[in-house]
Amino acid sequence: MAATDFKDYYSILGVNKTASADEIKKSYRRLARKYHPDMNPGNEEAEARFKEVSEAYEVLSDLEKRKKYDQFGQYWKQAGQGWPSGGSGVNVNDVGGFDFSQYGSFDEFINELLGRFGTSGPGADTGSRRTYTYRTSPGGPTGFNDFGGYSDFSGYDNRTGAASADREAAISLSLSEAFHGVQKRLNLGNEVIDVRIPPGAKQGSRIRVRGKGQINPYNQQRGDLYLSVELQPHSFFQFEGDNLICEVPVTPDEAVLGAQVEVPTPDGNVTVNVPAGVRFGQSLRLRGKGWPNPKGVRGDQLVKIAIATPKDITPVEREYYEKIRDHRSFNPRSHLAQMRL
């Protein structure tokens, strides 16, 4: 295994190895906004960084995946020093009892860790299912015939046994494609199929495509293809449970006096009344403006308020802020006067 295969996900996210989950999440959100393709149209370098940041977060945000990644880092350092002659030289007890010697490269390890490929590359037989990954570009071909062989986001039982002919794949969708629904063309190697993704897909949603798996050698019947949805991060919209959330900044005067502000929703801007005295972090609920469920019923969108403090102000603005300061009756720290341990 070449030492250059390894990617330092902590460095990619700009955090140290002892970083908390909140620190990792905060750094990821900042970098995702910075490098998101919507913010950098046509910038291939930014797109590559965005993918790299997303992959790093996908691993480090999961405790089990992060643990295995940290163990692999130790294994990689050992590999860089060279193994003793005669076999791989890996002492699996030194890396938490997990045998990393089965991987020829860092990419093989990450692909299996994230469930992208079989252990011997795309299409490898894992013993119960054949695992594939399909990456499709946003806004792909449209107008294909829908063959109707899917069920909307229904779960599936994890059948086992060497005779299973099912296949499993991950399909990457932009938030727009998932919200509106989209038709995708997938290349299965020896066959090209058209699949319709209904509106309302969420991260981890699974779609069953009947009769598009492998041929069972015992009964000569084809298994099914299961598509697991992976949503690409968005620079504005995120999920909190079943609700769609966003963060909207308001100025200090808008927060104190109240205001009407324009807020983006998945299907256009709406005017929202910000109440006087709104607090930082307070959420305003837009009913029926959120994510659709498989039955087409829209959830809610939560608008989290952030108070944006201006850095550069005019002399007139400074004069009025100073007047407010000199005549202010509200003390937000009054409750701290008697605070003791």
Domains of the chain, each with CATH number or no CATH: 1-83+93-108 (1.10.287.110), 129-233 (2.60.260.20), 238-312 (2.60.260.20)
Per-residue pLDDT of the chain (341 residues; tens, 9 = 90+): 444 567 899 999 999 999 999 999 999 999 988 998 878 888 888 888 988 998 899 889 988 889 888 887 766 655 544 433 334 444 444 445 556 666 667 777 787 777 654 333 333 333 333 333 343 333 333 222 222 333 333 333 333 334 467 888 889 999 999 999 999 988 877 788 899 999 999 998 899 999 888 877 667 788 899 999 999 999 999 998 888 999 999 999 999 999 999 999 998 999 999 999 999 999 999 999 999 987 889 999 999 999 999 999 999 999 999 999 999 999 999 989 889 99
Say if pTM beats, i.e. exceeds, 0.95. Answer: no
CA distance 317 to 335: 30
CA distance 153 to 173: 14
